[in-house]
Amino acid sequence: MHTGQPLGSGRTADVYAIDKSWVLRRYRDGTDATPELAVMAYLAASGFPVPRIGPPADPSMPVCDLVLQRLAGPTMAEALTAGTLGGPEAAETLARLLRELHTIPPRLSNDPYDRIIHLDLHPENVMLTPHGPVVIDWCNASEGPPELDRAMSCLILAQATLAPSLPAASAVRGLLVELAGRLDEDGGIPAEALARARALRAAGPCRTAEELTALDEAVELVAAVGRTAADHPRR
Ligand SMILES: Nc1ncnc2c1ncn2[C@@H]1O[C@H](COP(=O)(O)OP(=O)(O)O)[C@@H](O)[C@H]1O
Ligand SMILES: [Mg+2]
């Protein structure tokens, strides 16, 4: 399919403008995007902020392509870096999005405790549009216990704080502390959920011995921050 101006790129996908309303999101490795369409359609119908699904403009469109609503605004990560958004406000938004997502009943699971879980909900996957934050990048979405999603968001932030190349590591650590404090009110991060999140991260691609050591440090950081949050609950 014809692609227009590039709008953004993440670890797995490239996003191009189609016109002023729609974008084309394409997995670089050809991953089938069909499963996340069903999740996004269900969430949109449930009132959760996700990009609207567009028309399949081209019937020969490969399965790795999605046509989605074109969103205006920076990602939360960009806004934090630019200083237009503060850590406490970002933490509040992340905690609220996780909480709201986890109020929606599962689409497939027969376990009533299960919820739709994003499993990659962090500042790069939230776009701050004039109509409010919208959660993008549903490729890891699944159904399971909400505390696993909370653990995963914190673990991803903790890994970012330990990345040697990250200039704003202390700001990200501040965000992690703020987020853990707020998540405590929703049930926090039980050790079992953190262990499951670790296993999922460890099963990801390109895990060198150094990366696995750093992952364990990140797990310890989340556990420590979670304990601190439990010791000093927010009012
Ligand atoms: N619906 C959209 N409208 C406008 N830009 C988008 C949209 N979805 C994603 N983007 C841009 O593309 C980038 C990568 O998108 P994302 O879905 O997170 O890909 P990845 O899976 O590679 O992380 C985002 O950071 C954002 O800048
Ligand atoms: Mg992304």
- What is the Å distance from ligand 1's center to 181 Cα? 28
Same domain (yes/no): 102, 188: yes
Closest ligand 1 atom to 28 CA: 22
Pocket of ligand 1 (CB under 6 A): 7-13, 15, 23, 25, 51, 68-71, 75, 124-125, 136-137, 139
How confident is the model at residue 227, as a pLDDT?
Answer: 72
Confidence band, pLDDT 50/70/90 cuts, at residue 106: very high
Tell me how far apart the alpha carbons of residues 127 and 117 are, in angstroms, rounded to a whole number: 18
Tell me how far apart the alpha carbons of residues 132 and 87 are, in angstroms, rounded to a whole number: 17
Provide the token pair at 25.
């999101």
Tell me how far apart the alpha carbons of residues 160 and 21 are, in angstroms, rounded to a whole number: 33
The answer as to whether 1 is a domain residue is: no
- What is the Å distance from ligand 2's center to 215 Cα? 19
Residue (of 168, 175, 161, 171) closest to 218 by Cα position: 161
Tell me which ligand sits closest to the C-alpha of residue 27: 1
Same domain (yes/no): 10, 110: no
Closest ligand 1 atom to 77 CA: 25
Same domain (yes/no): 95, 184: yes
Task: Pick the more confident residue, 4 or 206.
Answer: 4
For atom 20 of ligand 1, the residue with the nearest CA is 10
- What is the Å distance from ligand 1's center to 127 Cα? 8
- What is the Å distance from ligand 1's center to 136 Cα? 7
For atom 11 of ligand 1, the residue with the nearest CA is 8
pLDDT digits (tens, 9 = 90+) for 168-214: 888 999 999 999 999 999 999 999 999 999 999 999 876 788 889 99
How confident is the model at residue 169, as a pLDDT?
Answer: 83
pLDDT digits (tens, 9 = 90+) for 21-42: 999 999 999 999 989 999 999 9
How confident is the model at residue 186, as a pLDDT?
Answer: 94
**In testing the pocket of ligand 1, which one of 12, 15, 32, 37 has its CB within 8 Å of the most ligand atoms?**
15
Structural domain range at position 122: 76-231
Tell me how far apart the alpha carbons of residues 22 and 52 are, in angstroms, rounded to a whole number: 9
How confident is the model at residue 235, as a pLDDT?
Answer: 41
Same domain (yes/no): 34, 118: no
Same domain (yes/no): 111, 218: yes
Same domain (yes/no): 119, 225: yes
Same domain (yes/no): 50, 125: no
Closest ligand 1 atom to 74 CA: 27
Tell me how far apart the alpha carbons of residues 166 and 156 are, in angstroms, rounded to a whole number: 13
- What's the structural domain count of the chain? 2
> In this prediction, what percent of the chain has a pLDDT beyond 70?
94
> In this prediction, what percent of the chain has a pLDDT beyond 90?
79
CATH number, domain with residue 65: 3.30.200.20
